[in-house]
Amino acid sequence: MKLVILDRDGVINYDSPEYIKSPQEWHPITGSLEAIANLHQHGFVICVATNQAGIGRGLYSLQDLEQIHGKMLQAVTDSGGKITAVFHCPHIPDDDCQCRKPRPGLIRQIAHHLHTAVEGAPLVGDKLTDIEAGIAAGCKPILVQSGSAELTLDQLPHSDIPVYQNLAGAAAAIIAGDV
């Protein structure tokens, strides 16, 4: 199975320091939907692993999150792509759960759900926590600069982690076998 794991906020859609709390606040980053479609059309299975502490903070509900993901999944489908599954962590950092990135719990959930190994699978994120979760799970982390990457470029744990401007650049490199 050719698997790609994507973070959501800052990779697929624009992020907000106030959280994405409703479908009306969810807006795809230019080129991200087409990048997912391109990956899908090249035979990749795409899953999303996203921290959603806004639920734990009481800023939005699980039903709100499901509506946001419904909008995202429909937008991806309308662009010719497919996201196989979306996994989220609803906890705040102080909850000390196993699913919140940088821990690899969400990625392990993906492996269990798909009955496949995730080792070596590209994991595209825009934050240090995404990169650390990918490393912890044995994935191949890729940093994109479309979200919070400017905060983490100098914090990367390894100099061999590829960095791209956005998901479109990362997807092209994944398809070409460059990562």
Residue 150 confidence (pLDDT): 66
Whether residue 9 lies in the annotated active site: yes
Lookup: tokens for 106:
């969400």
Closest C-alpha to 165, from 29, 3, 43: 29
pLDDT higher than threshold 90 for residue 22: yes
How far lies 150's CA from each of 67, 154, 165, in Å? Answer: 30, 8, 11
Residue 176 confidence (pLDDT): 97
Q: What is the pLDDT of residues 145-166, one digit of tens each?
A: 998 766 667 777 777 899 999 9
**Do residues 131 and 13 touch, judged by C-beta distance below 8 A?**
no
Q: Which residues of 12-32 are buried (b: 16+ CB within 10 A; e: fewer)?
A: bbbbeeebbbeeebbebbebb
Whether residue 7 lies in the annotated active site: yes
pTM given for the model: 0.96
Q: Where are the alpha helices (DSSP H) in the chain?
A: 32-41, 53-56, 62-78, 105-114, 128-137, 167-176
pLDDT higher than threshold 70 for residue 59: yes
Listed by start position, the domains of the chain span 3-176
Closest C-alpha to 26, from 82, 61, 71: 71
The CATH class of the 3-176 domain is alpha beta
Of the residues 7, 15, 64, 126, only one is catalytic, namely: 7
Residue 152 confidence (pLDDT): 62
pLDDT classification of 171: cutoffs 50, 70, 90: very high
Residue carrying the six token digits 């320091």: 17
How far lies 170's CA from each of 157, 161, 165, in Å? Answer: 19, 12, 8
Residue carrying the six token digits 């939005």: 60
